[in-house]
């Protein structure tokens, strides 16, 4: 299925999405100065860092010199948990969202009514870019709760004027029933759950042509073009990527549209994005770097130059699109997910790209970084075949060679029986496992190690 749509979907907010870039930059700079003033007035950790850098007012700040300003990271949220980075009176907070972090510590983010309105606005644009409109029925199969996925899609669908079906994650039999009975045209869930649903439909004897789905908005975990191909084949829709993080606003920070040529449009009137190298220096468009966001309009917990840990490339607007927004690539990986095996840096998405390029391989796989012998770290990959019966040895040998050629390092590949790799019906799929000294791999993979 082609990435490019024959005609672009209408703009939900023409003044924001189709604004001339030079005019948008003036707006961004004004909002940046207002952000700095809000942070200074809040007298929190960000204000201390700004003053230490010589910044005493927003009037002296410009986008051209943004890279000279201090950054903030997830560790700062943990250190000042739970309210340390709040910038408004507590009574102005209307909800809290967040995600679990190291050792189960949540990163709590306070939202004001203004923040929720911004979230609904950018999510409405994202869904509109996927072709949704007031006549749409949007099936939301992301989880609802502290995790921002379900609520973000819900806010955006209602702002758009569509009919929202808030099923939440899991309950696959009910998901299938609603697909048949209410005939939604937009599906929102994680890409791994989209695969799960597609396989459940196939097992039930339902052909994709029997569904009414036109597009799916899938995020919360990195996924590759290979997985896009498989999702589209299973569900008969256009599979689009969405990006967000609770610290910034949740889903809607950036989203692929039908006319964005495979990249994600950044809602840059609200979230100014940079890409930096490991030393904190800006990298040019097209060069992978860590995404850094400044929340130009947020009020509850505004962030200046938040280091996301996510690696991607940036680019200008899609040629010929009415959307004049800058774009980001699909995530290449996370800074803390990068594997270093015998001196070679490897992102899990590189491995997935090789695996799913082979039509014999199913989307169910597990990457294991085995450091039980610290001096001899090993990279191991367990994959399931797309169909049975299968000849495991030729597939194993070919994948081993393809991975060595792509990664520059050897790894052990096992082709396992279908159903061996653990599935998840709720939440994010676990595709990477790190095993340290004295640890065990989970059943039923233990016999491979």
Residue 395 in domain = yes
Residues 247 and 359 in one domain: no
Residue 129 in domain = yes
Residues 323 and 229 in one domain: yes
Locus of tokens 């019906």: 425
Q: Are strands 327-328 and 314-315 parallel, antiparallel or unpaired?
A: antiparallel
Residues 207 and 251 in one domain: yes
What percent of the chain has a predicted confidence (pLDDT) above 90?
67
Residues 314 and 431 in one domain: no
Of the residues 317, 332, 347, the one at which a domain ends: 332
Question: Does 88 or 342 have the greater pLDDT score?
Answer: 88
pLDDT in tens, 204-218: 999 999 999 999 999
Residue 40 in domain = no
Q: What is the pLDDT of residue 446?
A: 66
Segment 384-390 long-range contacts (CB within 8 Å, at least 24 positions apart): 384/415, 384/416, 384/417, 384/418, 384/419, 384/420, 384/421, 385/360, 385/361, 385/415, 385/418, 386/359, 386/360, 386/361, 386/362, 387/360, 388/418, 390/360, 390/415
| Overall number of domains in the chain | 2
Of the residues 332, 365, 388, the one at which a domain ends: 332
pLDDT in tens, 239-293: 999 999 999 999 999 999 999 999 999 999 999 999 999 899 999 999 999 999 9
Residues 296 and 383 in one domain: no
Residue 100 in domain = yes
Residues 358 and 323 in one domain: no
Residues 312 and 343 in one domain: no
Residue 65 in domain = no
| Residues 196, 202: Cα–Cα separation, whole Å | 10
Residues 347 and 389 in one domain: yes
Residues 411 and 368 in one domain: yes
Give the residue numbers spanning the domain of 403.
338-448
């Amino acid at each position: 299925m082609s990435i490019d749509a024959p005609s672009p979907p209408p703009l939900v907010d023409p003044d924001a999405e189709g604004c001339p870039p030079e005019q948008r930059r003036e707006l961004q700079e004004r909002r940046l100065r207002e952000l700095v003033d809000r942070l200074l007035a809040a007298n929190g950790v960000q204000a201390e860092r700004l003053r230490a850098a010589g910044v005493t007012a927003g009037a002296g700040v410009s986008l051209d010199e943004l890279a000279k300003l201090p950054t903030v990271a997830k560790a700062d949220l943990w250190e000042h948990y739970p309210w340390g980075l709040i910038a408004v009176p507590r009574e102005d907070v209307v909800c809290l969202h967040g995600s679990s972090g190291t050792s189960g510590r949540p990163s709590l983010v306070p939202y004001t009514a203004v923040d929720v309105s911004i979230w609904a606005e950018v999510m409405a644009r994202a869904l509109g870019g996927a072709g949704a409109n007031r006549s749409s029925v949007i099936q939301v199969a992301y989880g609802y709760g502290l995790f921002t996925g379900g609520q973000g899609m819900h806010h955006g669908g209602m702002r758009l004027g569509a009919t929202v079906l808030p099923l939440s994650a899991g309950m696959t039999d009910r998901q299938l029933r609603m697909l048949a009975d209410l005939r939604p045209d937009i599906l929102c869930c994680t890409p791994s759950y989209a695969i799960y649903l597609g396989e459940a439909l196939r097992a039930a004897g339902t052909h994709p042509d029997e569904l009414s789905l036109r597009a799916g908005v899938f995020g919360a975990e990195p996924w590759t073009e290979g997985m896009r191909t498989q999702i589209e084949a299973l569900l008969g829709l256009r599979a689009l990527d969405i990006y967000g993080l609770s610290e910034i606003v949740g889903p809607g920070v950036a989203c692929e549209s039908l006319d964005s040529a495979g990249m994600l449009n950044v809602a840059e009137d609200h979230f100014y994005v940079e890409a930096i190298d490991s030393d904190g220096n800006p990298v040019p468009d097209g060069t992978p770097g860590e995404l850094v966001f400044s929340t130009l309009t947020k009020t509850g917990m505004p962030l200046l130059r938040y280091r996301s840990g996510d690696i991607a490339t940036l680019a200008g607007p899609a040629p010929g699109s009415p959307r004049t927004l800058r774009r980001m690539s699909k995530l290449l990986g996370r800074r803390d997910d990068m594997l270093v095996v015998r001196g070679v840096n490897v992102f899990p998405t590189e491995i997935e790209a090789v695996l799913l390029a082979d039509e014999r391989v199913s989307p169910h796989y597990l990457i294991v970084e085995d450091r039980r012998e610290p001096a001899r770290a090993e990279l191991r990959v367990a994959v399931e075949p797309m169909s049975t019966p299968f000849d495991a040895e030729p597939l194993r040998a070919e994948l081993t060679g393809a991975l060595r050629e792509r990664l520059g390092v050897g790894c052990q590949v096992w082709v396992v029986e279908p159903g061996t790799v653990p599935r998840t019906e709720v939440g994010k799929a676990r595709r990477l496992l790190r095993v340290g000294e004295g640890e065990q791999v989970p059943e039923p993979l233990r016999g491979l190690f």
